[in-house]
Amino acid sequence: MIKFIDISKTFMVKKQEINALRHVSLDIHDGDIFGVIGFSGAGKSTLLRMVNALETPTEGIVEINGSDINKLSFNELRKVRKDIGMIFQQFNLLESKTVYDNIAIPLVLKRMSKADIEKRVSRLLEFVELSDKKNAYPAQLSGGQKQRVGIARALSTDPSILLCDEATSALDPETTDSILRLLEKINRELNITILIVTHEINVIQRICNQVAVMEQGNVVESGSVLSVFSKPEQGITKRFISTVMPDKIPDSVMEKLKQDIRHYKIIKMRFLGDNVDENVLYFINRHFAAETNMLFASVNELQKAVVGIFILQIIGDDTEIDKITTYISEHNIQWQEVKL
C-alpha cells in the first residue's frame, strides 16, 4: 500500500544543508500497524509527511497503491489525500467549535448534506465513545478526549490510511493505553492501515506488528516487532527495547558475582514462542553435572507470542558447561555469553 523507495530529503537551514532522510526504503502493507521509532531529529516525522505529500523527497519515490504521489496532478493528489487521515500530538482542534463541529469540518468542506453529516458524526462519536460530549468545547475535555475527537475527525472521510504523528506523547500512561486500544479497534474493525511515528517504545510494543528504527535520517533496523524485539542488532534498538524489556543483571547481583571464586559461565538466553513453554532449565538441572543460578528473568508478550529473557550462571567444569550450551543451541534457543 505505502512504499518508500530510496527516499532522501535535504533541507537548507541558515545556508547549511541538513540531511533529514538518507536513502530510506520501507514497505507498509494493507492492514499493518507500522511503527517508526527514533529520537528527536531522526527524520521520522519528515518521513510520515511524505505519505500525504506535505513533504516531498529530494530523491526517491513515494508510492501509494502503486502510484508515485509526487507525479500526480493537483486534483489526483486531492483524491489521494481524502483517503488519508492524520492525527497529531497537540490535537489541532478549533477551540471555538464544539466537538460535533470539529469532527464535521472535513465533511462540511466536502459539501455533504446536513443529514449525512449528522449521521456520520453521530456514528463516529459513538465509535470513539464520546456521544455525551457532542456539544462540549475542547476546553471542557481531557487530553484523551481531545485526542479521541482528533481521531474521529481523521476518520470522518472514511480513509484507508491513518497517520499518527506522536499521537500519545502528550498523554499520561493510562490515557495512552486507552488511545492505543482505540487505534487497535480502528485497525481491526475498520481495516485501516496505520502508520505511527513515536519516540515511545511501549507504543511499538503494545500495538504494532512492524517496526522501523531510525537514527539521523537512516533506517538502521526494521522488520516484524517480534523479530526486532527478540533479537535487536543495533545499539539504538537495544537501548529502546531495554526500557520495556530489560535484559541486564542488576548491579547488586553483579557485585556479588565478582566476588564468586567458583568456575562458571554466565549466559543470556532468549526464548521465543513455543520455546518458552519447554522445560529447558528443568532438564539442565536434572541431567547435567553443573549447578545453575538464575540471575535475571523477564517474560513479555509481543503479537501474541511470548519472548522470555533469562540470564543464567552455570557453575561447573568446562566440559559440562559446553554440554549445556550445546543442548541449548540444539533447542533453537538464542544465547550469548555475558562478560562481567
- CATH number at 281 reads 3.30.70.260
| 21 DSSP β-pair partners | 9
Residues 268 and 206 in one domain: no
SS3 content of the chain, % helix, strand, coil (to 5): 40, 30, 30
Residues 79 and 128 in one domain: yes
Residues 238 and 255 in one domain: no
Number of H helices, E strands in the chain: 12, 14
| Lookup: cell for 339 | 562478560
Residues 256 and 217 in one domain: no
Question: Which residue among 206, 221, 242 closes a domain?
Answer: 242
> Residue 43: is it exposed, middle or buried by C-beta count within 10 angstroms (0-12/13-18/19+)?
buried
Signed CA dihedral, 298, 198, 27, 186: sign only: positive
pLDDT along the chain (340 residues), means of 10: 95 87 96 95 94 94 93 91 91 94 94 94 96 95 95 95 93 94 96 96 94 96 92 91 88 90 91 66 88 89 82 93 92 86
**8 A C-beta contact, residue 220 and residue 39:** no
Question: Which residue among 242, 274, 309 closes a domain?
Answer: 242
| 266 DSSP β-pair partners | 313
Phi-psi sector, 15: left (phi>0), alpha (psi -120 to 50), beta: left
Domain that holds residue 177: 2-242
Residues 305 and 196 in one domain: no
Residues 203 and 273 in one domain: no
- Residues whose CB falls within 8 Å of the CB of residue 276, separated by 6 or more in sequence, listed in order: 299, 306, 307, 308
Instruction: Output the pTM of the full model.
Output: 0.88
pLDDT score at 282: 84
pLDDT score at 246: 86
93: helix, coil or strand?
coil
Residues 255 and 222 in one domain: no
For residue 187, the 8-state DSSP code is H
pLDDT score at 276: 53
41: helix, coil or strand?
coil
Question: Which residue among 242, 272, 300 closes a domain?
Answer: 242
- CATH number at 196 reads 3.40.50.300
**8 A C-beta contact, residue 226 and residue 307:** yes
| 13 DSSP β-pair partners | 16
Residues 189 and 308 in one domain: no
Residues 303 and 172 in one domain: no
